[in-house]
Structure 1
């Protein structure tokens, strides 16, 4: 296990813009806050979504696309640096009108409405390739 103590540098509330990309809006908030590391929680609704599932045997993401309106019942993640850009590592539970839940790594989604709480930290989190998992993980 790797860990470090961090100090909070700011806390932000944001409303995401209708029609924007969910993850890009969160990355934009981090940029506006000049955050090199952050944790966030969000909720709302999307018009469509692309969710990824990481296959631990093939070491590949398997995308699943949903071209339908979905509630964002819960969304959590963190912001770090990946290949020189801020990256919002975003996981979400989405729900259909009948209550069926869909969940995974939220790669993209079109915002209908969204609200985000972000806490920023006094450190930099940078992702680098991990040979064991074939994922880009924090240092």
Structure 2
């Protein structure tokens, strides 16, 4: 296991703009607030969503698209650098009107309403390719 201690004292709350892309809103906010590394949680609702599931045997993401209104029951993630750009690594648990839940790596979603809490880290975090998993991970 690789690890390091991080510290930070900047905290933000934000409202995601209606009809914008959920993940892009987080990345845009991070750029505007000069956030290089952070942890975030969010909640709200989306009009549609594309989530990814990582196939561990094939070492590639599988995409699933939902063209329906969904509640964002939970959204967690982090902000770091990937290929020279700020990247919001975003996971979400979404729920249908029936209560059925869907979850995965949130690639895109159209915001209906969204609220974000973000706590920054002082140290910049850069993602690098991890050979065993073929994923871009911290450290």
**TM-score tier (shorter):** over 0.9
2:133 aligned with 1:98: no
SS of 1:58 mapped into structure 2 = coil
The whole-number CA distance in structure 2 between the counterparts of 1:36 and 1:100 is 35
- Give 5+ residue unaligned stretches, structure 2: none
Report SS of the residue matched to 1:105.
strand
**C-alpha displacement of 1:30:** 1.1
- In 2, Cα distance between equivalents of 1:32 and 1:119: 15
* Higher share in strand: 1
Aligned to 2:10: 10
Please say if 1:44 is aligned against 2:44. Answer: yes
Spell out the pairing of 1:1-139 with structure 2 (5 A cutoff): 1-139=1-139
The list of structure 1 runs, each at least 4 consecutive aligned residues, that deviate by more than 2 angstroms after superposition, is: none
CA displacement at 1:69 relative to structure 2: 0.3
* Alignment size in residue pairs: 139
Q: Secondary structure at the match of 1:9?
A: coil
Structure 1: where are the runs of 5+ without partners? none
User: TM-score normalised to the size of structure 1?
Assistant: 0.98
How far, CA to CA, are the matches of 1:9 and 1:32 in structure 2? 17
Give the C-alpha shift of residue 9 in structure 1.
3.2
Return the offset for 1:33.
1.8
Partner SS state of residue 87, structure 2: strand
Deviations 1:84-133 (A, max 9, x none): 00000000000000100000000000000000000011001101111110
